Structure 1
């Protein structure tokens, strides 16, 4: 049973005075995550995999168990993941660790967040890699036949989002994975918006790399996860090296002048990819968040998201002057509804919702300039208004949003301006 009232009591930030509809930017955090992180600082505060004393060993065991739990949540083995500071760092880690050559081609879609664009743009500038754009349709869907036409013998990587942070549209990542495997092309998935809402299995997706952040899935800030397919985790040289990633006991060199990278041995996976002290408390917190989501049930979260999206579409599409973006079928999107009101800037809509209705959401370009320029073909400074739902969002809150948008459209929209 999906007990929304019980769920809301688990989140200390929720209160009756305001409505939080900005979970795509960052979710709220339940007590169990806060308590887990506090327990580390209060009772287990030490480093791990460095010392042999009892406290350090206890922390290491708990950390290793948390890593196992995180890996299992996406259908991976613990040797296949690494902890980063966020998903942006994870994608940059892939970009810096792969050995690209001039004229290699990277295909990215026009739905992508800046974090899955600019690491590849830097390679275009520094290395001479060529970017090829996979343009989404008006509703944000992607045509697999077009992907086939974009792939050439020079294509090295396809990088796409699993769920658009602008529209909430669900991208067919498993089908894309099959195309990439057929053409022997590397494949990276930005799963920031999907891991919090959908059951994920990296083996079913068929990706080489997958990145997500803890703070969008009831976990803490300051932690991300990168999945690497086993051959890549084993054979690639990490872009960041240092304490923890090198096995000093197995490293051999005669003099300092003979000390080279080749004379050293990497630590066992997954520690090879985690140079320096990892975010220990945050790893414990993310594992606790995963346990919390499992307790609610990912299928139940999917059903709840779908219900709220259908409710929002039904309510907003009947308001004169409101323009909805994305697929009309709620089963094709996850937790996000995007819209504009004719005659009023999105940022003003966001401000009115906050000041007059105590509704918090996102308004602007959502770090996805290429979508607004290439797909929506609108003024990229304007962007749109994005409401994002999660497991603690209620149907009553969606109704309040719909009613607020109706009042704003009547008072400030294009129809109101024409009458005035």
Structure 2
């Protein structure tokens, strides 16, 4: 018995009626009609700024915006005062990297699985503030050893930053266990949830993190809006100041508002926030536990078929943990494969996936890898079609 009514769900995504095989959901998901309608309703019927005007239209806009903050908090098991809206996951992590009060004696622990957005901010901050960055290296299948974390984390560790789900291999990191280890040493914990928030239930209390970041565009929402969770009681300087975050100001000094608004300087992406709220409603109604099971089932089928193709090297864990599957093809670059698939109506990602150290140095794939990433609207029939097209594409590329 299917856990999702996939064919009913597909009706909410008009782009799928074109026949395209959309297997690039780890980059960005498609958007259901319900989210587009919610955004249009705000733009057409409630178009005003938030947190400023006292007239009814502005108050309605502010209420709609703050209602989404409450939805996000419920979605991740947090309080509304712990949820700030930002541009995306990248901005959220940068806010943390530049907002902690660092000292030269500190160290930050990251992993070799990280997306550049959870790597570069710490490397840049280390250059500015002089602290050390330590890297826990993954195994070839993407798994992380708690023993390696135990060797890296010590009394000088100020923060541990790790991805919840690898955007390349789809492996799930042992966040809870790492967080407990970090807390034993008094360290803060940041979780990059860009690849987990769209696909599985999240609870920040269960994860044990102090910071968590994710983006709307990967979870049926619009681009340009993300979420930064900051645990109550954790001190963090804002990266930007200006309108919208002022409690008082003179020509000589200023006083800022409290969290969560202090991280939302300027006019925020109001329509995007409304769209995020609609996306959360959409996914919550379907049920993320069922979404996750559906994706894993598809990924298992895809992996079984891929390993049977001569010259294809499937990466990551033997038993898929999420809907992400990456592979390399002997003698053919990942870009060549992806471009050829694209001409056949298949959308996949190729290259280094904003994770050069992982793909090139850990996996040893100098020409990148092809990534097929599945979501709630993908089907078993699409997996079959993908494999038929891939086999034909490889035959043509090899000149057979």
* TM-score bin (small chain): over 0.9
Deviations 1:38-95 (A, max 9, x none): 1111111111111111111111111111110011111111100110011100000111
Contact 1:162 1:189 in 2 (8 A): yes
SS, match of residue 48 in structure 1: coil
Matches of 1:107 and 1:405 in 2, distance apart?
A: 39
- Report the more deviating stretch, 11-20 or 177-186: 11-20
The residue aligned with 1:377 is 364
Contact 2:337 2:394 in 1 (8 A): no
Contact 2:221 2:275 in 1 (8 A): yes
2:67 equivalent among 39, 59, 65:
65
Structure 2 portions without partners, runs of 5+: none
Stretches (4+) displaced over 3 A: 408-413
Q: Tell me, yes or no, if structure 1 residue 407 matches structure 2 residue 392.
A: yes
Matches of 1:109 and 1:66 in 2, distance apart?
A: 32
Quote how far apart the aligned CAs of 1:17 are: 3.0
Matches of 2:342 and 2:62 in 1, distance apart?
A: 44
TM-score, length basis structure 1: 0.92
Matches of 2:199 and 2:222 in 1, distance apart?
A: 16
Structure 1 portions without partners, runs of 5+: none
Q: Tell me, yes or no, if structure 1 residue 362 matches structure 2 residue 349.
A: yes
TM-score, length basis structure 2: 0.96
Quote how far apart the aligned CAs of 1:133 are: 1.1
- Report the more deviating stretch, 61-70 or 384-393: 61-70
2:117 equivalent among 115, 118, 124:
115
Deviations 1:359-392 (A, max 9, x none): 110010001011023311232xx11000010001
Contact 2:335 2:351 in 1 (8 A): yes
The residue aligned with 1:307 is 297
Deviations 1:192-221 (A, max 9, x none): 000000100001000110000000000000
SS, match of residue 15 in structure 2: coil
| Larger Cα-atom Rg | 1
1:206 equivalent among 205, 208, 211:
208
The residue aligned with 2:278 is 288
Q: Tell me, yes or no, if structure 1 residue 129 matches structure 2 residue 131.
A: yes
Matches of 2:236 and 2:293 in 1, distance apart?
A: 39
Q: How many residues align?
A: 398
